[in-house]
Structure 1
């Protein structure tokens, strides 16, 4: 069994479905991306909270699946503020009734495609819960477009303290951290597409390549070259 990763758009607005297969003994670090995930790992349903640093899953080898929710969209669906799950992996039955989670676990276990089964769970839940805060989705979109935190707060009509408090609930951390995480992901996408490091750094919003290197070390705990070689 070799390493493979696939993702595709979900029927749930802004979400992605992904499937990862790793050979026995292998693991893959997960870098901060501003998102939360509903996970299928080792026959269990888990929720991955928003990360402030790279996480190395305990599980090694096998096939894993998930629904990756767009920044700010998971808390309403899951029924928990994002900051309560920051840098954590939590069993779904810690958040939802155990009997319901056992039923869902059996359903995913018997599904031909676990990612689609996870998507069905998310869609069913979304139809029965309040929609995500549209203001905070627009905040995430502006930060992802490279807007400053100050501009984003002004355009949202929020003071700095209000924005920070609402960001903790929606994203798991303040807007400055989310902006850094999203900027790093923009740079990584450019580098993976073949853009030279220095050009990718500036295009993503870093001052220069050295700035990108510092952010990679701080948020991902590694270097660009080491991460790309491992991926």
Structure 2
């Protein structure tokens, strides 16, 4: 039982999941983002940027409310470079003052629209940090459009090594990995909208459908057909 909708925080998404008795494991694909998450069982945590799909499970009745931050915005909200949280799920109390986290968890649990609380906290922390790094959005847009690493670096006035360092801090991995993830997600969006897999592969910049299938298995952990 998964739902999501656009957040009042530009580029962010609010989502909810309630585990049912017959629900199997879920699969969360890498996306270059970080999430603030509240669980009715374990409280508040941060999901760092993933390099591969994460398989999720939990007891029936467990409820999650999450705020998926825009790519590159997570470090300003959480207060840590993204690569320090790569492929991790970390209790928020290990990163922020315990009293502040306890108060926030209570507010989320009691609020009729708990996603609003996460949005409010994230918006305030982002503003206090001076806003998102201005590099993030144009880099994501350039890579998503198929620009190569050297071209992306040049468009931003950076060398490739500088771009790699900035990308690690913002997204948790270098621009090459980010580009792979963005390309896979574009191909999957096309395929889920009804585009044949071979055409989705070509339109997303893959050499052929076999290339897309290899990337999906590498990043998502399952064959393309099973994922769709």
User: TM-score if structure 1 supplies the norm length?
Assistant: 0.93
* Structure 1 Cα separation of the partners of residues 143 and 72 of structure 2: 12
Task: Give, in angstroms, the shift of residue 50 of structure 1.
Answer: 0.5
**1:5 matched to which residue of 2?**
2
For the aligned residue pairs, the C-alpha RMSD in angstroms reads 1.4
Per-residue CA distance 1:155-211 (angstroms, 9 max, x = gap): 011111111011100110000000000011111111111111111111112111101
Per-residue CA distance 1:127-153 (angstroms, 9 max, x = gap): 322211102321112111221111101
* Structure 2 Cα separation of the partners of residues 197 and 82 of structure 1: 32
Count of residues paired in the alignment: 225
Task: Give, in angstroms, the shift of residue 221 of structure 1.
Answer: 0.6
Worse-superposed segment, 55-64 or 69-78:
55-64
Partner SS, residue 29 of structure 1 = strand
Q: Which consecutive unaligned segments of at least 5 residues does structure 1 have? A: none
Is 1:195–2:195 an aligned residue pair?
A: yes
Is 1:111–2:108 an aligned residue pair?
A: no
Task: Give, in angstroms, the shift of residue 124 of structure 1.
Answer: 2.5
Task: Give, in angstroms, the shift of residue 43 of structure 1.
Answer: 4.5
Partner SS, residue 54 of structure 2 = coil
Task: Give, in angstroms, the shift of residue 45 of structure 1.
Answer: 0.7
* Structure 2 Cα separation of the partners of residues 57 and 102 of structure 1: 24
Contact 2:30/2:51, CA 8 A, preserved across alignment: yes
Per-residue CA distance 1:2-51 (angstroms, 9 max, x = gap): xx222111111211111123312532011111111111123411111000
- Which runs of structure 2 are paired with 1:66-81 in the superposition (5 Å)? 66-81=66-81
Task: Give, in angstroms, the shift of residue 113 of structure 1.
Answer: 2.3
Partner SS, residue 215 of structure 2 = helix
Query: CA 1:60–1:213 in 2, change beyond 3 Å: closer, same or farther?
Result: farther
**1:20 matched to which residue of 2?**
17
Contact 1:27/1:60, CA 8 A, preserved across alignment: no
Contact 1:21/1:64, CA 8 A, preserved across alignment: yes
Regions of 4+ moved over 6 Å:
none
Contact 1:73/1:137, CA 8 A, preserved across alignment: no
* Structure 2 Cα separation of the partners of residues 95 and 64 of structure 1: 20
Contact 1:77/1:126, CA 8 A, preserved across alignment: yes
Per-residue CA distance 1:195-231 (angstroms, 9 max, x = gap): 1111111111211110100000110110121112xxx
Contact 1:35/1:49, CA 8 A, preserved across alignment: yes
**1:38 matched to which residue of 2?**
36
Contact 1:47/1:91, CA 8 A, preserved across alignment: yes
Q: Which consecutive unaligned segments of at least 5 residues does structure 2 have? A: none
Partner SS, residue 50 of structure 1 = coil
* Structure 2 Cα separation of the partners of residues 27 and 46 of structure 1: 19
User: TM-score if structure 2 supplies the norm length?
Assistant: 0.94
